[in-house]
Amino acid sequence: MFAIEIQGLSKDYAVGFWKKQFRPALKPLNLAVRTGETFGFLGPNGAGKTTTLKLLMGIVSPTSGTATILGKSFQDPEVKRRIGFLPEQPYFYDYLSAPELLDYYARLSGVPRERRNPKIDELLKRVGLADVGDRQLRKFSKGMLQRVGIAQAIIHDPEVIFLDEPMSGLDPLGRHEVRELIQGLKDDGKTIFFSTHILSDAEALCDRVAVIHKGELRGVGAINDIRTSVAGRSEVIWDGAHALPAVSGSLIESHITGETVRGIAHSENIDSLLDQLRRQRARLISVTPLHGTLEEYFLAKTSEQEKVIS
Amino acid sequence: MISRLTAITLNTFREAVRDRVLYNLILFVLLLVASAPLFGQISIGMERLILVNVGLSSISLFGVIIAIFIGIGLVSKEMEKKTLYTILSRPVRRWEFILGKYLGLVMTLVVNTALMTAGFYIALLITNGLHKTDALLLVAIYFTVLQFLIVTALTILFSTFSSPIFSAIFAFALFVIGTFAEDLKNFAAISKGAAKLLATAAAYVMPNFASLNVIAQAAHDQGVGSGLILFNTLYALLYSASAVAAAVLIFERRNLK
């Protein structure tokens, strides 16, 4: 079951005053996010991440394509009761206190009167702002504001949560706190779709990620697969230096320490390598796939030539 | 729907009430009213006339300034601070947002006018003592509030498609033109051909603030007929409803960057 299904969603912005030209901010995008999944939407600044989120939230209208959220059209007002959204670096109403702000958003989301106050207290506690009292938001630090931001996104207990760059502009402590909050939502079984350009955050939190660059989807995959696919290499350790000359053709590099050999081979050569080692009666100690980093994947995907879309 | 509308209205009101600029403006009007007796001393026996003229004109002018000053920011500030995104991603329709904002500002202006009116009547009481005819002044103040309804609606209309500065210029220009609406009608009556057509059209499209200004009559204790009160009320309601509807139509189609 998919919580979010994006089908060919695209957006062109008109630029120029007299002679209008259309600049694609998002090329037709197809993407599906499973229920309960934490999905990272990665891309450098200006890649089209925010545009995608604005389209899904109905803030801008698509040039073409459509999307469903929780099985209904993304434009269905009913869907909006069941989703939460945190825009990138919002400032909120700085003349309000945190409880007032949350009360306002709870009303707009149709949270019944009797559930509002207990919910606000519970959420303020959850985001670590139980003791802020009536202090106005203008006196809040950036990290505190971001936590209020997450609280407003979940005040109505949504099933799907969209977060636009939730960690940007925060210090390491603030980032850690926000990361913990997202982890908590993930543990609650919420579907989380968040855009970021901070790869370590995506690596720590996401089940799957998509990479978008210049308005175009460059790759989608599970974090574990991605790491393996980037590397595509394995480390093989065995006892028996005598076997090395026979297998050296399958190895990219090797080191000998006494009788123990540590060799690196392409993953597709591993089977034949192991066969040869057995034939040479070498004693196998371990075979470990080498993980690449998300960063390597990201850099590889964003440096690929732009595909021509007909 | 009603609860969302009330939430937006009350939040807009709260924003205005917590803005210091508003208090400065109210204070300025009260000072002006308080100083009116000093003007009166220049010309003997004219205290009340001058107090009424200065007082009611300040209430009207500063109300319009507040309406424009706050009105231009109602939509643009929410876009700039991205708070609008957190609203439109909820089950809030765009028309509810515009109407809520409008009603919030109108509520602010009504409360402000009530405060300034109280100050004005205290000044009257101190300088002249209150008389029966002073009740007539309330009609002039009521008409001023009707003016605010229109100015606020026009400001919101402009702010849905232009920058705050241009919205302010447009709204203020229309206020000035509307104040001289009778002259526009007279001009239409004496001109010929295309000019007549244009002037007549303009006279009807422009808001008629002239007929909503009875300060001079009120100052001379002249009553206002109930027919005019009814007509002006309907006129202000229809005119502002059309402007708000136009604002909604534009805002519904707008891509918010």
What token pair was written down for B236? 């202000």
Q: pLDDT confidence of A297, banded at 50, 70, 90?
A: confident
Q: Taking residues A236-256, what's their average pLDDT?
A: 86
> Residue A216, CB half-sphere, CA atoms under 13 Å: how many?
12
Q: Are B59 and B120 in contact (CB under 8 A)?
A: yes
User: pLDDT at position A310, please?
Assistant: 32
User: pLDDT at position B239, please?
Assistant: 94
For residue B88, give the chain A residue with the closest CA: A59
Amino acid sitting at position A170: L
User: pLDDT at position A161, please?
Assistant: 94
- Chain B segment 59-88 residues within 8 A of A by beta carbon are 81-88
Three-state DSSP class for residue A257:
strand
In total, the C-beta contacts within 8 angstroms joining chain A to chain B are 82
What token pair was written down for A44? 């450098």
Q: Which residues of B touch A67 (CB under 8 A)?
A: none
Q: Is B7 on the interface with A (CB under 8 A)?
A: yes
Element (H, E) at A216: strand A216-222
User: pLDDT at position B37, please?
Assistant: 66
Distances in whole angstroms, Cα of residue A65 to Cα of each of A22, A28, B82, B180, B215 = 17, 7, 25, 51, 58
Q: Taking residues B191-209, what's their average pLDDT?
A: 84
User: Is residue B86 pLDDT above 60, yes or no?
Assistant: yes
Q: What is the CA radius of gyration of chain A?
A: 25
User: pLDDT at position A167, please?
Assistant: 85
Name the average pLDDT for chain A. Answer: 86
User: Is residue A200 pLDDT above 90, yes or no?
Assistant: no
Q: Is B8 on the interface with A (CB under 8 A)?
A: yes
Q: Which residues of B touch A152 (CB under 8 A)?
A: 86
CB spacing of B85 vs A90 below 8 angstroms: yes
Q: Taking residues A166-195, what's their average pLDDT?
A: 88
Q: Which residues of A touch B108 (CB under 8 A)?
A: none
- Between CA A259 and CA A242 the distance in angstroms is 8
The sign of the CA dihedral B106, B108, B114, B118 is negative
Query: Which residue of B75, B90, B256 to mutate against A (max A Cβ within 10 Å)?
Result: B90
CB spacing of A80 vs B7 below 8 angstroms: no
What angle, rounded to 10 degrees, do the helices at B94-127 and B47-80 form? 160
User: pLDDT at position B201, please?
Assistant: 84
CB spacing of B86 vs A83 below 8 angstroms: no
CA B54 and chain centroid, separation: 17
User: How many residues in total does chain B contain?
Assistant: 257
Which of A13, A80, A88 comes nearest B91 by C-beta? A80
pLDDT tens per residue, range B150-161: 999 999 999 998
Which of A61, A86, A107 comes nearest B3 by C-beta? A107
User: Is residue A309 pLDDT above 60, yes or no?
Assistant: no
Three-state DSSP class for residue B213:
coil
User: pLDDT at position B183, please?
Assistant: 83
Q: In what order do the strands lie in the sheet with A191-196?
A: A83-86, A160-164, A191-196, A38-42, A208-213, A216-222
Q: Are A164 and A49 in contact (CB under 8 A)?
A: yes
Query: pTM for the full model?
Result: 0.82
User: pLDDT at position A308, please?
Assistant: 41
CB spacing of A110 vs B11 below 8 angstroms: no
B181 or B241, greater pLDDT: B241
Q: Distance from A85 to chain B by nearest Cα, in Å?
A: 6
CB spacing of A78 vs B4 below 8 angstroms: no
Question: What contacts A242, CB < 8 A, 6 or more positions away?
Answer: A280, A282
Q: pLDDT confidence of A307, banded at 50, 70, 90?
A: very low
Three-state DSSP class for residue A284:
strand
Which long-range contacts link A100-105 to residues 24+ away (Cβ below 8 Å)? A100/B14, A101/A137, A101/A148, A101/A152, A102/A148, A102/A151, A102/A152, A102/A155, A104/B7, A104/B11, A105/A152, A105/A155, A105/A156, A105/B86, A105/B90
What token pair was written down for B27? 């204070």
| Of the listed ranges A109-118, A256-265, B45-54, the one predicted with least confidence | B45-54
